[in-house]
């Protein structure tokens, strides 16, 4: 049987805690284990939507009620960095209590998920890495006519959303330089 679940995992070296959802047949937790993550606890739930909603509500609690930003960066954890918190500010036991409380609220409310914005849709906008800006500046200098968001994304190996921010910053610098403002 493939049972949906919500998990809380920890990474001792990074001092990070992550909440996520998966299933018993998925290799996701094993993949995290190979990367140094340790499973703290898993909560088996009856349906995938319930597991998803439990995860999202727990993330909402961490982000918007406790005001905890994502702890790791996309470079440190490309798949799931937005679901991490510092173990120093939210130990795994606290995160686990939040997961269980949110699952209980959904189940006691008749199992119907409440309509609430996804925690991951409200990402904290991180500062642009200087190394990424330098790489984009070089790309622009090499050929301004092909300086596009997809080209920046390919060069940096990053998402198009992030690449667009980098591209916009480089173009704003170019405009400022032309208008005498400089960096």
The continuous run of DSSP H or E covering 7 comes out as strand 4-11
Weakly modelled stretches of the chain, pLDDT under 70 = 110-126, 181-183
How confident is the model at residue 172, as a pLDDT? 87
Is the entire prediction scored with pTM above 0.75?
no
Q: Are residues 14 and 50 in the same domain?
A: yes
Under a CB-based contact definition with an 8 Å cutoff, are residues 156 and 163 in contact? yes
Q: Are residues 69 and 147 in the same domain?
A: no
How confident is the model at residue 18, as a pLDDT? 98
What DSSP designation does 80 have? Answer: T
Smallest CA-to-CA distance from 118 within 92, 82, 86 is with: 82
Q: Are residues 94 and 148 in the same domain?
A: no
How confident is the model at residue 30, as a pLDDT? 93
Coil/strand/helix, residue 70: coil
> What range does the domain containing 25 cover?
4-121
How confident is the model at residue 61, as a pLDDT? 93
Q: Are residues 82 and 165 in the same domain?
A: no
How confident is the model at residue 98, as a pLDDT? 95
**Plot region of 38 (φ>0 → left; ψ -120 to 50 → alpha; else → beta):** beta
How confident is the model at residue 44, as a pLDDT? 95
Q: Which of 99, 121, 143 finishes a domain?
A: 121
> Which tokens belong to 71?
């702890």
Q: Are residues 103 and 167 in the same domain?
A: no
Coil/strand/helix, residue 12: coil
Q: Are residues 22 and 73 in the same domain?
A: yes
């Amino acid at each position: 049987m493939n049972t949906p679940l919500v998990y809380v995992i920890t990474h001792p070296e990074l001092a990070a805690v992550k909440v996520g959802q998966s299933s018993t047949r998925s290799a996701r937790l094993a993949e995290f284990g190979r990367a140094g993550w340790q499973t703290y606890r898993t909560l088996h739930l009856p349906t995938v939507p319930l597991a998803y909603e439990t995860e999202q509500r727990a993330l909402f609690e961490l982000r918007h009620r406790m005001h905890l930003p994502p702890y790791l960066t996309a470079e440190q954890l490309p798949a799931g960095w937005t679901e991490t918190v510092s173990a120093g500010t939210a130990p795994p036991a606290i995160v686990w209590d939040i997961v269980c409380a949110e699952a209980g609220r959904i189940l006691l409310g008749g199992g119907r998920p409440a309509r609430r914005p996804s925690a991951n849709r409200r990402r904290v906008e991180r500062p642009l890495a200087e190394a990424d800006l330098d790489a984009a500046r070089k790309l622009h200098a090499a050929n301004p006519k092909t300086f596009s968001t997809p080209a920046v994304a390919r060069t940096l190996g990053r998402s198009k959303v992030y690449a667009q921010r980098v591209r916009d910053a480089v173009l704003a610098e170019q405009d400022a330089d032309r208008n005498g403002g400089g960096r």
